[in-house]
Structure 1
C-alpha cells in the first residue's frame, strides 16, 4: 500500500510541475515575461516557492501530521481505503475549496494575516509564476498539506490527488497572463450563454485577474475561491467585471523589501523610499 501512495505522489508531482513549466515556457517564449515590470524578482520569488512548498507540505507538515496520526490514531491507518474514488474526490475537493475560501477571505480581512498573504499579491504582473509567490509561513495555513496528510494516512490518496489536480489546473488557467477566456468569448460569440452560466459557478481569469488588480475592473477584496466561484456568490464576495485589468499588484509593491515578503513575521522591514519622480524638464 505504501508503494501505491508513493506512486500516486510521484505521478501527481510529475503532472503538476509539467503543467506549470509548460505554461511558464509559453509565457516566456511568447514574450510575455520580458514585458513584466520586475521579471527577475518575480522569477526568484517563484523559485523560492517551488523549493519551499515541498519542504513545508511534504517534509514538515506531512511528516509531523503523519506522525501525529500514527501516534494518536494507529487504528485509523488506511481505514477509509475502500471509499469509492469518486466519493473521496468529491468530499475532499469541496472541503478543500471551502476551507481555502475562508482562509483566503480571512487573509484579506485580518491585518496580521494579510501580511502573510500579501506576498502573493505584490507581483505587478499576472503570470503562472504568481502561483508560487508565497510568504514561507503562509504555506502552513493552506488546507492542502493538512488534508493531504489525512488522505494519505486514511487511504484516500487517489481521491485527494484528483482533488489537487482539479484545483491546480484551475489555478494555472486563472493566473496565466493569457486572457484565453476573453479571446474565446470574442472569437466564438455563439458560446456566450454558456460562459454566462460557467462564470457564475467556476473561477475564470476574468474574476481572478480582478482579484489581483487595483484600479478599474479590480476586486481585490473578493473573488476568493480557487475553483468553486459559487462560494463567492453564496457569501457575497463575487464580482464579475467582464473586462481586462490594467494594474496588478499593490500600489506599495515597489516599496516592499524582499526579505519581509518571504519571511514576515521573522523579518520586519520598513517600506522602501518612494521612487523619485522623473523630472519632465530633464533631457
Structure 2
C-alpha cells in the first residue's frame, strides 16, 4: 500500500532539489526575508497542524451524526471512489480557489499565495494560515477517508500533490516537451486535463497586458479540466516574465498570515 505520508514529502523535497541544482530555489534577487517567513510558517502549519487537525476532527463529527460509520462506503469500487474524490475534493477546491479571487473577504486568506515576486515550489503551500482550515475539499476528503476511501485516497493524493508541486515549480517540466513536435497531440490533451507550469504560471503573472497572465482564471489544482469546463481556461504555452499582485499595496507578513486576527 502507498504511504502518502512519506511519498508526498519526498516528492516535495525532490522538486526543491531540482530547483536548487538549477539555481531557481533561493530566489535571492526576487525574494526577501519576509517571503521566507511567510513560506516557512504557512508550509509548516498546513503539514503539521491544519491537515492533521481536519483529519482528526472530521471523523468525530461524522460519528456524532452517524455512529459506526467508519468504512461504511468501503464496498465501492476504486473507480467510483476516484470519481467522488475528484468532485468532492478537487472540484470543490477549484470553486474555493475561484471564490478566493472573487470575494474580498476570501481573497484576504489567499493573497499571500500571490504576493511573492516569483513562482516556485516555495509557493506551493504559501497562504494565510486559515486558508486551508476552511477549505471544503479537505474536510470532505477527511470524511471520505473515514468512510473507507483511504486506499484510493492515498494514491490520489500522491498524484494530485505531484501535479500541484510541478505546476508551481520554477523547474518547468512542460517547457521542453512543447518543443518536441511528436509530443504536440499529447500536450494538447495534457494541458487541458491537468495543471501544468504554463497554465498555472499564467494565474500567477503580474501584468495582464503581457498576453499570458490570467489572474482571474486557471484556478485548477489537479485537474485543469475544471477551468475548461467552467470557462476560466487560458492556454498560451508561454510563461509570464514577472509575478506578483498588480496594483495592490503591500501589507505586512503578519496580516497575510493571520488575517483577520492581524489587520495591519
Superposition deviation, residue 252 in structure 1: 5.9
Superposition deviation, residue 35 in structure 1: 4.0
Separation (CA, whole Å) in 2 of partners of 1:254 and 1:26? 33
Using the size of structure 1 for normalisation, the TM-score is: 0.85
Could you tell me whether the CA contact under 8 Å between 1:33 and 1:39 is conserved in 2?
no
Deviates more, 1:164-173 or 1:195-204: 195-204
Give 3-state SS (helix, strand or coil) of 1:83's partner.
coil
Deviation string 1:14-42 (CA, Å, 9 cap, x unpaired) is 10101101111221232113444115433
Structure 1 runs not aligned, ≥5 long: 1-6, 270-283
Separation (CA, whole Å) in 2 of partners of 1:129 and 1:42? 9
Correspondence for 2:14 among 22, 26, 29 = 22
Deviates more, 1:207-216 or 1:83-92: 83-92
Residue 90 of structure 2 aligns with which residue? 97
Separation (CA, whole Å) in 1 of partners of 2:229 and 2:138? 26
Superposition deviation, residue 254 in structure 1: 7.8
Superposition deviation, residue 247 in structure 1: 0.9
Residue 205 of structure 2 aligns with which residue? 213
Residue 112 of structure 2 aligns with which residue? 119
Residues 117/223 of structure 1: CA separation in 2 closer, same or farther (3 Å cut): same
Residue 180 of structure 1 aligns with which residue? 173
Is 1:31 the counterpart of 2:23 in the alignment? yes
Residue 246 of structure 1 aligns with which residue? 241
Could you tell me whether the CA contact under 8 Å between 1:93 and 1:160 is conserved in 2?
no
Is 1:57 the counterpart of 2:60 in the alignment? no
Residues 169/253 of structure 1: CA separation in 2 closer, same or farther (3 Å cut): farther
Could you tell me whether the CA contact under 8 Å between 1:213 and 1:220 is conserved in 2?
yes
Separation (CA, whole Å) in 1 of partners of 2:97 and 2:73? 29
Residue 252 of structure 2 aligns with which residue? 257
Is 1:193 the counterpart of 2:188 in the alignment? no
Separation (CA, whole Å) in 1 of partners of 2:145 and 2:194? 27
Q: Higher helix share goes to which structure?
A: 1
Deviation string 1:173-217 (CA, Å, 9 cap, x unpaired) is 10000222122221x222112212322222211110000112211
Structure 2 runs not aligned, ≥5 long: none
Give 3-state SS (helix, strand or coil) of 1:132's partner.
coil
Superposition deviation, residue 144 in structure 1: 4.2
Residue 85 of structure 1 aligns with which residue? 78
Superposition deviation, residue 267 in structure 1: 0.1
1:129-168 superposed matches below 5 A: 129-168=122-161
Residue 108 of structure 1 aligns with which residue? 101
Q: Which of the pair has the greater relative contact order for Cα pairs under 8 Å at 6+ separation? A: 2
Using the size of structure 2 for normalisation, the TM-score is: 0.91
Q: Tell me the matched-pair count.
A: 259
Give 3-state SS (helix, strand or coil) of 1:140's partner.
coil
Superposition deviation, residue 136 in structure 1: 0.6
Could you tell me whether the CA contact under 8 Å between 1:42 and 1:129 is conserved in 2?
no
Could you tell me whether the CA contact under 8 Å between 2:12 and 2:165 is conserved in 1?
yes
Superposition deviation, residue 243 in structure 1: 1.2
Could you tell me whether the CA contact under 8 Å between 1:203 and 1:227 is conserved in 2?
yes
Could you tell me whether the CA contact under 8 Å between 1:98 and 1:231 is conserved in 2?
yes
Residue 233 of structure 1 aligns with which residue? 228
